[in-house]
């Protein structure tokens, strides 16, 4: 129950970890206060009067509690890591849409001058990796066995499968495939970006032709671009990857992978005008790496 967040503060070589039941909805808002104020607000402290964890008083408390470890990926909905020693800010939450994501990230860059502001695209797994911790115990186990997933159809809709009765936001993502003859096929995805976890190179090669061009009335939340001749894939998103790019090799032998952060511009460039979206947020112009 709640909107759970983890916090890590590093100062003079010492790391302290914290946990909040309700903090995930305000990670970016809390950090917009800047380094000193945000550190003070997110530093874990013992509660003045400890209450049993199942009482209404405990459930209402909005403070940050000290903890010894991080939550699992499925439980952690937001996080902030503040490294004063290296001047690195690593954070994530669950943005409402692409414009909200860009405005929040741009606000953090402005509020933390001289810091390297990064987005944790793999959620708490990125926080664990930064701290030198093993990610595997924290990984979400909600996905079925990959062998079973291999028997499922590809989670992308082309002209023959698309649902015209659904609103634009029903389709969260866009897949583009650059074929060896340099043609481009486009597909829509109703699932989130973890679809890559059960898509394989063999399935992609067998897919029916897609759209020659797509125009979306809303900005997607994620996109996947595949180049079959180069055997390369690139993924961008504004939501957690949930480990989707950690172990892609078994399903994609010989392929290389790149994370484009949340940079929809790179996907638009790769599609060379075939993918059309609404005007991009103005603050995107000032973000070169978009959270990486």
pLDDT digits (tens, 9 = 90+) for 8-59: 999 999 999 999 999 999 999 999 999 999 999 999 986 655 555 555 555 5
Q: Is residue 107 part of a domain?
A: yes
pLDDT of the residue at 243:
79
| 181 pLDDT above the threshold of 70 | yes
Q: What is the mean pLDDT of residues 171-188?
A: 96
Q: Is residue 194 part of a domain?
A: yes
Q: Is residue 171 part of a domain?
A: yes
Residues 30-67 as b/e (b if ≥16 CB within 10 A, e otherwise) read bbbeebeebbeebebeeeeeeeeeeeeeeeebebbbee
pLDDT of the residue at 192:
85
Q: Which two tokens stand for residue 231?
A: 């055997």
- Give the range of the structural domain holding residue 117, as residue numbers without chain letter: 5-138
Q: What is the mean pLDDT of residues 164-174?
A: 83
Q: pLDDT tens, 183-242?
A: 999 999 988 887 776 688 888 888 999 999 999 999 999 999 999 999 999 999 999 988
Residues 166 and 218 in one domain: yes
Average pLDDT, the chain: 89
Residue where a domain stops, chosen among 83, 108, 138: 138
Residues 134 and 150 in one domain: no
Q: What's the pLDDT band for 103 if we cut at 50, 70, 90? A: very high
Q: Is residue 291 part of a domain?
A: no
Residues 129 and 162 in one domain: no
Residues 20 and 79 in one domain: yes
Residues 154 and 280 in one domain: yes
Residue where a domain stops, chosen among 81, 107, 138: 138
Number of domains in the chain: 2
Residue where a domain stops, chosen among 114, 138, 162: 138
Q: Is residue 292 part of a domain?
A: no
**In terms of pLDDT, which residue wins out, 93 or 167?**
93
pLDDT of the residue at 251:
81
Percent of the chain with pLDDT over 70: 89
Q: Is residue 180 part of a domain?
A: yes
Residues 169 and 268 in one domain: yes
Residues 134 and 12 in one domain: yes
Say how far apart CA 34 and CA 125 lie, in whole Å: 24
CB-CB contact of 47 with 65 (8 Å): yes
pLDDT of the residue at 126:
96
Residues 164 and 133 in one domain: no
3-class DSSP assignment, residue 216: coil
Residues 17 and 110 in one domain: yes
Q: Is residue 9 part of a domain?
A: yes
Residues 134 and 172 in one domain: no
Q: Is residue 190 part of a domain?
A: yes
Q: How far is CA 241 from CA 24, 73, 104, 162, 277, in A?
A: 17, 10, 19, 24, 23
Q: CA nearest 35: which of 70, 69, 86, 71?
A: 86
CATH, residue 89: 3.30.420
Residues 189 and 279 in one domain: yes
Single pTM value for the model:
0.90
Residues 29 and 95 in one domain: yes
């Amino acid at each position: 129950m709640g909107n759970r967040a983890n916090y890590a503060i590093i100062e003079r070589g010492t790391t302290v970890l914290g946990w909040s039941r309700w903090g995930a909805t305000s990670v970016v808002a809390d950090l917009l206060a800047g380094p000193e104020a945000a550190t003070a607000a997110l530093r874990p402290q013992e509660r003045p009067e400890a209450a049993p964890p199942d009482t209404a008083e405990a459930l209402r408390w909005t403070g940050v509690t000290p903890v010894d470890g991080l939550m699992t990926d499925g439980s952690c909905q937001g996080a902030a890591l503040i490294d004063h020693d290296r001047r690195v800010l690593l954070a994530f939450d669950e943005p409402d849409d692409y414009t909200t994501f860009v405005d929040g990230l741009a606000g953090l860059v402005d509020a933390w001058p001289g810091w390297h502001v990064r987005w944790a695209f793999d959620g708490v797994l990125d926080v664990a990796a930064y701290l030198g911790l093993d990610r595997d115990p924290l990984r979400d186990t909600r996905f079925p066995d990959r062998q079973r997933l291999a028997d499922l159809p590809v989670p992308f809709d082309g002209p023959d499968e698309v649902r015209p009765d659904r609103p634009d936001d029903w389709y969260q993502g866009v897949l583009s495939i650059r074929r060896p003859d340099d043609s481009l096929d486009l597909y829509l995805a109703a699932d989130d970006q973890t679809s890559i976890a059960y898509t394989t190179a063999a399935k992609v090669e067998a897919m029916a032709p897609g759209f020659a061009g797509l125009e979306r009335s809303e900005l997607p939340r994620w996109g996947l671009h595949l180049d079959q001749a180069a055997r390369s894939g690139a993924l961008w998103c504004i939501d957690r990857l949930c480990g989707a790019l950690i172990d892609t090799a078994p399903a994609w032998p010989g392929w290389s992978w790149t994370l484009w952060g949340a940079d929809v511009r790179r996907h638009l460039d790769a599609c060379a005008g075939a993918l059309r979206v609404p005007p991009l947020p103005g603050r995107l112009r000032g973000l070169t790496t978009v959270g990486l």
